[in-house]
Structure 1
């Protein structure tokens, strides 16, 4: 029989179960009630502290049709059907251009608030969604770490902080939040505060990944019973209370606590219009929690649907357009609040796509890609070198920037903490934080 700690770990609730949802939410709201002066005394999660938003482009974003090497003949030869023409791009240099679906990101780039990191990847890359996502979220290329890079940041730099130091608006608690002491909390949707089980065994991981990262919004997440069964059925024997009963009780407490978080979020009224897409709603919720004074240092959101094997053009352009619109609203909202200087947003995707288009007018799993770092605290421009489109590794781009160097840059430059204990090594940083 599993212990409750083992059960919680298997359901991605993190390695520690020393507190329950109502306790820390009550404490958070008690702190918020006494006012901003008291929040400011929290050394690592103060109301005036810097905030990082991590935005996952789930499914493997095609970097070649996001940051387009339009000045390279090899690009047009490799993609005769899906390659972007001049009318479909926004030129940023004589070589690279943004997808035309991203006009606001062009504006941020010109204003110096968007850093574009080219050729991001890692040594000996893996084309599995599950494995590569795990590598990015743990910052461990051996895929052996039991904790996530953000969770290690919580453990090393935010010791003793409120569990709401990290909030994920995702269908599951991200592996990046895995921690020994404080794994943060998970809002599975903007309407409900609930822990969700993280899936089946690794043999089922690819199917699970696809369901998690579909572009459709999930308004009806699994209830406590189905969650427990997906973990392998009823697993009792914990001091008279089954793990199923425990999970159901925690879920009920979480629903009660959700009202308190939503009460705080509802107090903020914005004049900024957000589209009705899942990514826009998630960033809207983040902006409300920031405006409400949550002592959160890291927010995590996901934008799914980037596994574009078939008929890529329309779906990929649509996803990038949704991203662009959501970022436009989010940063306008932060500026209206007076919080724009506090927030930096970083994107990531588990891998890029192959250089050559496939027979289905799509692209298959590749390796290196691009990522974005955005906000008023960013020193905009290009970072890294665009990989060669002819000197390839089995048809894939060779990475020119190790993603852990980007993490190190954000940790040291923005979150003001040493990156070595978090990343378990030293990686060259980029001067991307202004």
Structure 2
């Protein structure tokens, strides 16, 4: 192999790490001038927020009228005197979630309690794979539910790309068999990476057609550069005036809003907020995390409202599992099972608390029993919001939640 070809393979690690799919980005060469997604009749987008680490849902959506909750959590239990934000059905939000309470009061928040799946797994990696793939606990699936949405719903898509993850790497959720999402922290840094002089030199001196691996990497690099140029061109000059939390999560939300307001044609955005593995000192950690989450999502809603993009946006918030009902000896909680899922948007068909609070008197070996299979939520979003074939993506047997979105 020539030194040029070896250099190309080494330096093309950038393109590979960005996890793009060839075929997907040829439309980028069409240049600017695309209509905004929100201007297309019936067009809708989905923003997924992943709470990584296993969020303790019982201290997020709190059954503050239930004595069993306080018996299980004599030190961790959040009390009315702490400033619980009252909802309905004797439930309340954690005091740090004032941003979400504001959206709830405006009819822009829906809460589904006790969401999970049969035979739950308490491993972070395995349970996250299950949620991201949309599979059962007894299955191993190498594609994600949103990746399969890209595969099935957009076989001849004319948009530049369909899905963006605001991160350095791409999650399983965004990987399909033939299409994948695109991972980037922000358009400016993404564009800067592709302007690397060494990459440009190798690209110019390596002609495709000689070696299948080199051909693939050459094509991927070319399409990565094209994608970066498009995103940079579309988003330049679009800077949000809304105040977001000064955190990685806040910056990711701001980037998402700026891309949307710039007219970038993505149907799916994927973000993560990490740190929810609260085995110790949970109270302090949740205070910080929930402030970031609530204030950040409230800022996103305000930002998109200002650009007339909130009504055609749905936000899904989930975590890979909840925590044990009983607090542990380290002022934290250990890995559990079912958990609340949140839906936010300017055009929710159902609002508020949508089902019964967790049954603390009927536990499964100390864990909550799930009331709702998470794949029923996915099926509802795919069919009723994204207008996709949910059975082709998830398989059969998952009844949609009527009128959810």
Deviations 1:380-422 (A, max 9, x none): 1212332211311121101000001111111122112231111
Matched, 1:185 2:179: no
Distance 1:271 1:171 in 2: 25
Matched, 1:28 2:28: yes
SS at the partner of 1:181?
coil
Distance 1:295 1:150 in 2: 16
Deviation at 1:84, TM superposition (A): 0.3
SS at the partner of 2:140?
coil
Question: Structure 2, unaligned stretches of length 5 or more?
Answer: 1-8, 194-198, 200-208
Distance 1:52 1:417 in 2: 13
Cα distance change, pair 139–255 in 1 and its aligned pair in 2 (3 A): same
Distance 1:255 1:156 in 2: 26
Deviation at 1:94, TM superposition (A): 4.8
Distance 1:99 1:106 in 2: 9
Matched, 1:148 2:147: no
The equivalent residue for 1:368 is 338
The correspondence for 2:132, drawn from 137, 140, 157, is: 137
Matches within 5 A, 1:99-114: 99-114=94-109
Larger Rg: 2
Kept in 2: contact 1:192–1:255 (CA 8 A): no
SS at the partner of 1:192?
helix
Deviations 1:80-138 (A, max 9, x none): 11110113311112521100111121121122111101000000000000000000011
The equivalent residue for 1:81 is 75
The correspondence for 2:391, drawn from 392, 403, 420, is: 420
Cα distance change, pair 73–251 in 1 and its aligned pair in 2 (3 A): farther
Question: Structure 1, unaligned stretches of length 5 or more?
Answer: 197-223, 225-237
Cα distance change, pair 79–129 in 1 and its aligned pair in 2 (3 A): same
Matched, 1:96 2:91: yes
Q: CA RMSD in A?
A: 3.0
The correspondence for 1:122, drawn from 117, 133, 138, is: 117
Matched, 1:380 2:351: yes
Deviation at 1:74, TM superposition (A): 0.7
**Superposition TM-score, scaled by structure 2 size:** 0.84
Kept in 1: contact 2:54–2:323 (CA 8 A): yes
The equivalent residue for 2:167 is 170
Aligned residues: 374
Distance 2:375 2:321 in 1: 14
Kept in 2: contact 1:163–1:184 (CA 8 A): no
Cα distance change, pair 359–46 in 1 and its aligned pair in 2 (3 A): same
Kept in 2: contact 1:47–1:293 (CA 8 A): no
Deviations 1:138-170 (A, max 9, x none): 110133112111111111111122461011112
Matched, 1:51 2:8: no
**Superposition TM-score, scaled by structure 1 size:** 0.78
Kept in 2: contact 1:68–1:84 (CA 8 A): yes
Cα distance change, pair 384–428 in 1 and its aligned pair in 2 (3 A): farther
Cα distance change, pair 47–307 in 1 and its aligned pair in 2 (3 A): farther
The equivalent residue for 2:311 is 341
Deviations 1:160-183 (A, max 9, x none): 224610111123211011212211
Distance 1:105 1:27 in 2: 38
Deviation at 1:185, TM superposition (A): 1.2
Kept in 2: contact 1:150–1:177 (CA 8 A): yes
Matched, 1:326 2:326: no
